[in-house]
Structure 1
Amino acid sequence: MAPIATLADLREHGISPRQTLHRCSPLGPWQRLLPGVVLTSPTPPTRLDRLRAVLAYAGPSAMITGADALVRQGAALPLPRHIHVLAGRNARRAHPWILLERTSRPPTVVERHDLRLATAARAAVDMARRELNPHTVMAILDAVLTARLCTPADLREEVGAGSRRGTALVRQALAHRYPT
């Protein structure tokens, strides 16, 4: 059984909801990470465990974006407390340490460590458009380009294809640092 399991997964393995509840009690060997998602280990969850739990929680069409997607693909960026995830328009689940963004334009999936990640250009734009500091936006774009995860043209294409909401600083940073 995988270290991260949904209640449905556990039922398929013959573990009843009552047994799961008992194993997730304060003295039990398991931990409930999110509603309906369990870590089948007594050790504290790693960031990878949390990423897998978020994907299990958000559903089969969800994917990680932002800093976590970029770091998993090789960019050197600090990780925020929350995990940024893209999900379909009907996703209605929220949680304090999940930044759930609904999208009608899901990007191509990049697989790393059994995780569904957004492409580097999409993840960078998703992360940068939430920033208010132009220097932070520039640092995000520089980190992605330094790691050679995408090109300035890829970033411009992503900005042009998506919603304009929150992209003013991203557009300015691209025009200033990486003119066409």
Structure 2
Amino acid sequence: MAHIATTADLRESGLSSREIHRACTPAGPWQHLLPGVVLTKPSPPTRLDRLRAVQSFAGPSSIITGADALARQGARLPLPRHVHVLAGSNARRSHPWLLLERTTRLPPAVHRDGLRLAPPARATMDLARREQNPHAIVALLDAVVDARLCTPGDLQEELRLCSRRGTALVRKVLRHLYPTRDEP
């Protein structure tokens, strides 16, 4: 059962703003996770609760990418403090534990656990483009390929399609790990 609700949904279900506020006080059973997003259980939020809250906050077309998308699809990766989200170019919401990337190229969503996730090749490139350590990029690419989430060819194709910003090191590592047949 999902324990995440927007305050708009709670008001639509018949609760008043005052009742919602009272339930979210320190003595109440609920808590605000993000502006306009409430966790409707007294226990601390799980990572899944946080991911669902981020999607409620970022909007219905938002897609979780990066480490969280890959981990939800089977890769074994450390999770950062922030959640990386793709949203349309008109998205304007922000929060300290949300890395909101505006894009004109939203990928088709992979649906898992009630979440909209980026496909593995896209999530990998979104994460790798922000990494400055070549050893971390090698570990990331190996983790994704070893988990059979995508092939080196899928990664090379995504790299061809994605923004070139931040890809020089990723291109170099990908060429080194998985040289194409026409390369020496």
Q: Distance in 2 between matches of 1:120 and 1:113?
A: 16
Equivalent residue, structure 1, for 2:62: 62
Q: Distance in 2 between matches of 1:159 and 1:3?
A: 37
User: What is the CA distance between 1:108 and its match in structure 2?
Assistant: 1.4
Equivalent residue, structure 1, for 2:36: 36
Q: Distance in 2 between matches of 1:2 and 1:44?
A: 14
Q: Distance in 2 between matches of 1:2 and 1:147?
A: 28
Question: Structure 1 residue 19 and structure 2 residue 32: aligned?
Answer: no
Equivalent residue, structure 2, for 1:73: 73
Q: Pairwise CA RMSD of aligned residues?
A: 0.9
- Which structure 2 segments of 5+ residues have no match? none
User: What is the CA distance between 1:2 and its match in structure 2?
Assistant: 3.9
Equivalent residue, structure 2, for 1:164: 164
Q: TM-score, normalised by structure 1?
A: 0.98
Equivalent residue, structure 2, for 1:151: 151
Q: Distance in 2 between matches of 1:4 and 1:20?
A: 13
Give the match's secondary structure for 2:101: strand
Equivalent residue, structure 1, for 2:47: 47
Q: Which amino acid aligns with 1:111?
A: H
Equivalent residue, structure 2, for 1:110: 110
Count of aligned pairs:
180
User: What is the CA distance between 1:11 and its match in structure 2?
Assistant: 1.2
User: What is the CA distance between 1:106 and its match in structure 2?
Assistant: 0.5
Return structure 1 stretches of 4+ with deviation > 4 angstroms.
none
Q: Which amino acid aligns with 2:154?
A: D
Percent identity between the two aligned chains = 69
Q: TM-score, normalised by structure 2?
A: 0.96
Q: Distance in 2 between matches of 1:108 and 1:169?
A: 26
- Which structure 1 segments of 5+ residues have no match? none
